[in-house]
Amino acid sequence: MKKFLLMAALAIVPVIAFAVPALADSPGQLSNGPMNYKVRNVTQNGAYAQSISAVCNDTVKYSVTLSNSEFGLLTNLMVNANLGSGAISASATNAAGATTSVSGTATVSLAKGSLVYVPGSTVRITSDGATSTPLADGVTAGGVNAGNLNGSTAIFVQFQAKVNCPSTPPEMCTVPGKENLPKDSPLCVVTPTTPTTPTALPETGAAESVLAIVGLGALVASIAYFVASRRNVLG
């Protein structure tokens, strides 16, 4: 019986000796793939894809799959996203103290406006979707710490953004007696008034003045002649 136990123990030792180096050689590694970076249009109830389109006021959701393909633990898993270019990257420190990183893209095509991160929308979700843990804001502003990642496991980091389209100020018009109004306001239509042409005064030239004086002199002479003749008649 003792001989049997000794043989069994000797058989186990090589297995343990083999397992320890295997774990030591697998300190943790982020694995990558094009489908690890996806986005969907929540407002339009769209499906996840690597590239989608959105319009003003639409909300989109990004989903990043982070997988540790080795046995060792990964710590300080950082996730960073650039909404403008769609670039997403992740990095972590493995058990050997080395940095492992991955990157990819998930793009949103916009006809107008720009994407703005939705505060409080970043979460860490287990691979089975059973547990969702809120993460701090910052995924689009230098990166967010998503915690640790055990060996041979995967998680999702998700966050949202909204299409912001600033409104263009309307053209204004100025109406006398009123404040500035939108140019399409009915009050902006002002009925023009017809200007009154002043009546021209009769022009009196030099010739007309001479004739008037001559006529007046003739009238005076006639009156004087009539008076003198009357005197002669009356004696």
Domain ranges in the chain? Answer: 24-164
Q: Torsion over CA of 148, 150, 152 and 158, rounded to 10 degrees?
A: -30
Q: What is the pLDDT of residue 232?
A: 52
As a residue count, the chain comes to 235
Indicate the pLDDT class of residue 19, thresholds 50, 70 and 90: very low
3-state class (DSSP) for residue 146: coil
Question: pLDDT class for 130, splitting at 50, 70, 90?
Answer: very high
Distance CA 46, CA 60 (A): 9
**Alpha helices (H) along the chain:** 2-24, 206-234
**pTM of the predicted model, to two decimals?**
0.65
Mean pLDDT for 83-102 is 97
Within 8 A by CB and 6+ apart from 54, the residues are 41, 43, 44, 60, 108, 109, 110, 115, 163
| Residue 155 vs residue 185, higher pLDDT | 155
Q: Has residue 179 got a pLDDT over 90?
A: no
For residue 223, pLDDT over 90 is answered with no
Q: Distance between CA atoms of 206 and 72, rounded to whole angstroms?
A: 120
**What is the share, in percent, of the chain residues with pLDDT greater than 70?**
68
Q: Would you state the torsion angle of the CA atoms of residues 6, 10, 12, 18, taken in this order, to the nearest 10 degrees? A: 170
34-46 pLDDT, tens digit per residue, is 899 999 999 999 9
Beta bridge partners of 75: 93
Q: What's the token pair of residue 157?
A: 């980091």
End-to-end CA distance of the chain: 197
* pLDDT for 20 beyond 50: no
Task: Note the Cα 39 to chain centre separation in Å.
Answer: 18
Largest CA distance in the chain: 197
pLDDT band at 26 (very low <50, low <70, confident <90, very high): confident
Please give the pLDDT value at position 42. Answer: 98
